[in-house]
């Protein structure tokens, strides 16, 4: 008999038919005469209730049906006599595929703290919460490819090992094949990278953007979606040393086109989750509500998870220039009453988390796109505006997450770009290939980077980024 997934079974409710299911036991309860087994196979949030009449099975078999065990069951589907589920399976054959010693198996049929589950990340997939999170993560990932494919973008795989250290996006992880106890030195006593595997210094990528630009300058529209590495000693609920980033790059597009693309893209992804992950979202929403009940009223979420997601889809993002944002902040109550840790005094200051949160959560109460930032606080490749003070950069800020997207129109004018690189101390000779796109057939182009885990955080309503990636890499932590 062919196995049926529990999701398909619960949706079709084939009452009266004999079916085969396989999965992992969540709980077993019952009396002398009858046992109830909650079985989950990861195909959906729901469990299938298996009813096992103790007369039909040896004590030996039923004793091995414990939380965590993998079993295979054949039985007839019938309407449930109990409440809580509409159909159940009356077991005829139970095969134990893999036992789970109940004295040692760490997952119990009760709520565990997320901190504890992080320590057993290899098993946390088996909980309802992480099942929901990873199904949603998959759906979002699929929606991203779907959106770009429908809109004429090509998926470009940019290198993970990069020879360029000029990407300007933070500390990099060194990639080397050297025997670390015996590193070759040159005549000056410095490390001789000519002897290393690639014949040069190499690192893990911090961004695929520069390479994506090269692709966009021929294919018109490309996107990358891959792992990204930052060796920053960041210990927050929003940062990972290894994370996944989505980076579209579009030729013949200015900053407004870039903002339009990012907003449309985010709305499509969120709508996709609403349309395709209703059960998992409902579970997570309920979970958040239960947690909120423990908190004081002023710390509770103003909107439920699905309300929050619908709000994103249904409302225009607020577009504000950096200059206007500074004015709003300067005249804001927390600034005047000196409640900000960093007071806004003059134009040119970098915005802190508290300022971004004020704009998004208090002032506009919706996603905000900030654009036209001071050139001094942004990267070298961003296009200089006519005012000579600002660059065509934009950040999208989401409630609870902060910066979810960072993008810009790229500097396409060779002389302006090389001038900028001098100011930023970036050697032209290392970037010859990048500059070639400005020498030969240069054109306006734009793009942005989206932190995938931050998107997953927002859509699932989880609060720590380590709980939306299977095996988080953070400073001092690379178990599993």
Partner RNA sequence: UCCUCAGUAGCUCAGUUGGUUAGAGCAUCUGACUGUUAAUCAGAGGGUCGUUGGUUCGAGUCCAACCUGAGGAGCCA
Footprint of RNA on 457-476 (CB under 7 A): 463-466, 475-476
Give least dist CB 229 to RNA, A: 9
Among 12, 13, 18, 34, binds RNA (CB under 7 A): 34
Query: What tokens were used for 334?
Result: 């927390």
Number of neighbouring beta carbons within 10 Å of residue 24: 21
Residue number with CB closer to RNA (195 or 289): 289
118 interacts with RNA by CB under 7 A: yes
Question: DSSP characters for 250-282?
Answer: EET--HHHHHHHHHHHHHHHHHHHHHH-HHHHH
Give least dist CB 395 to RNA, A: 7
58 interacts with RNA by CB under 7 A: no
Within residues 185-214, the interface with RNA by CB under 7 A covers: 207
Among 135, 137, 230, 420, binds RNA (CB under 7 A): 230
Sketch the per residue contact string, 132 through 161, with RNA: x for CB under 7 A, - otherwise.
------------------------------
Q: How far is CA 321 from CA 70, 193, 326, 368, in A?
A: 56, 45, 9, 10
Integer Cα distance of 394 and 408 in angstroms: 6
Q: Give how many residues touch RNA by CB under 7 A.
A: 73
CB 208 within 8 A of CB 243: no
Among 2, 16, 81, 188, binds RNA (CB under 7 A): 81
Q: Specify the DSSP element, H or E, that contains 24.
A: strand 18-30
Give least dist CB 480 to RNA, A: 12
Integer Cα distance of 393 and 285 in angstroms: 34
Give least dist CB 455 to RNA, A: 9
Residue number with CB closer to RNA (123 or 435): 123
Sketch the per residue contact string, 415 through 454, with RNA: x for CB under 7 A, - otherwise.
----------------------------------xxx-xx
Give least dist CB 462 to RNA, A: 10
Beta strand segments in 45-136, E: 48-53, 70-79, 87-98
Among 49, 220, 276, 385, binds RNA (CB under 7 A): 49
Residue number with CB closer to RNA (102 or 220): 102
Residue number with CB closer to RNA (114 or 414): 114
- Minimal CA–CA distance to 18: which of 96, 100, 99, 73? 73
Within residues 370-389, the interface with RNA by CB under 7 A covers: none
Ramachandran region of residue 315, left (φ > 0), alpha (ψ -120 to 50) or beta?
beta
Residue number with CB closer to RNA (116 or 471): 116
Give least dist CB 307 to RNA, A: 21
Q: How far is CA 465 from CA 22, 42, 418, 458, in A?
A: 31, 22, 38, 10
Question: DSSP characters for 280-319?
Answer: HHHHHHHHHHHHHHTS-GGGS-SS-HHHHHHHHHHSPPEE
Query: What tokens were used for 273?
Result: 């989750």
In this chain, which stretch among 11-19, 139-147, 230-238, 254-262 interacts with RNA, using CB under 7 A? 230-238
Half-sphere exposure in the Cβ direction for 431 (13 Å, CA):
24
Among 43, 67, 202, 409, binds RNA (CB under 7 A): 67
Sketch the per residue contact string, 232 through 251, with RNA: x for CB under 7 A, - otherwise.
xxxxxxxxxx-x-x------
């Amino acid at each position: 008999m062919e196995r049926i997934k529990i999701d398909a079974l619960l949706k079709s409710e084939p009452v009266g038919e004999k079916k085969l299911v396989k999965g992992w036991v969540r709980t077993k309860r019952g009396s002398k005469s009858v046992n109830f087994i909650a079985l989950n196979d990861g195909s959906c949030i729901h469990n299938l209730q298996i009813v096992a009449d103790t007369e039909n099975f040896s004590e030996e078999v039923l004793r091995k049906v414990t939380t965590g065990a993998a079993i295979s069951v054949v039985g007839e589907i019938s309407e449930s006599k109990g409440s809580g589920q509409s159909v159940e399976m009356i077991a005829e054959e139970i095969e134990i595929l893999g036992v789970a010693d109940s004295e040692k198996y760490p997952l119990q049929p009760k709520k565990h703290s997320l901190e504890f589950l992080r320590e057993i990340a290899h098993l946390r997939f088996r909980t309802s919460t992480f099942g929901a999170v990873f199904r949603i993560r998959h759906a979002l990932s699929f929606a991203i490819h779907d959106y770009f494919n429908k809109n004429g973008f090509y998926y470009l795989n940019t290198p993970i090992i990069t020879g360029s250290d000029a990407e300007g996006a933070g500390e990099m992880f060194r990639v080397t094949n050297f025997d670390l106890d015996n590193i070759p030195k040159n005549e000056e006593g410095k490390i001789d990278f000519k002897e290393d595997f690639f014949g040069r210094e190499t690192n893990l990528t911090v961004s695929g953007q520069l390479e994506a630009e090269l692709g966009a300058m021929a294919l018109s529209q490309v996107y990358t979606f891959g792992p990204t590495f930052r060796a920053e000693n960041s210990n927050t609920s929003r940062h990972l040393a290894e994370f996944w980033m989505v980076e579209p790059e579009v030729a013949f597009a200015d900053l407004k086109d870039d903002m339009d693309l990012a907003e449309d893209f985010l709305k499509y992804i969120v709508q996709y989750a609403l349309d395709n992950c209703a059960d998992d979202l409902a579970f997570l929403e309920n979970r958040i509500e239960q947690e909120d009940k423990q908190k004081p009223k002023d710390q509770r979420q103003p909107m439920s998870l699905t309300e929050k997601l619908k709000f994103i889809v249904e409302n225009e993002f607020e577009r504000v220039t950096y200059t206007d944002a500074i004015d709003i902040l300067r005249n804001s109550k927390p600034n005047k009453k000196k409640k900000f840790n960093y007071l806004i005094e003059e134009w040119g200051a970098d915005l802190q988390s508290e300022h971004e949160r004020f704009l998004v959560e208090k002032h506009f109460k919706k996603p905000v796109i900030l654009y036209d930032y001071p050139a001094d606080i942004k990267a070298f490749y961003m296009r200089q505006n006519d005012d000579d003070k600002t660059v065509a950069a934009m950040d999208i800020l989401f409630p609870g997450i902060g910066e979810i997207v960072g993008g810009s129109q790229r500097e396409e004018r060779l002389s302006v770009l090389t001038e900028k690189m001098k100011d930023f101390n970036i050697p032209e000779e290392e970037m010859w290939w990048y500059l070639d796109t400005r020498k030969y057939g240069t054109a306006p182009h734009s793009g942005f980077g989206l932190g995938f885990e931050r998107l997953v955080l927002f859509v699932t309503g989880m609060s720590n980024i380590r709980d939306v990636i299977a095996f988080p890499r953070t400073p001092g932590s690379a178990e599993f």
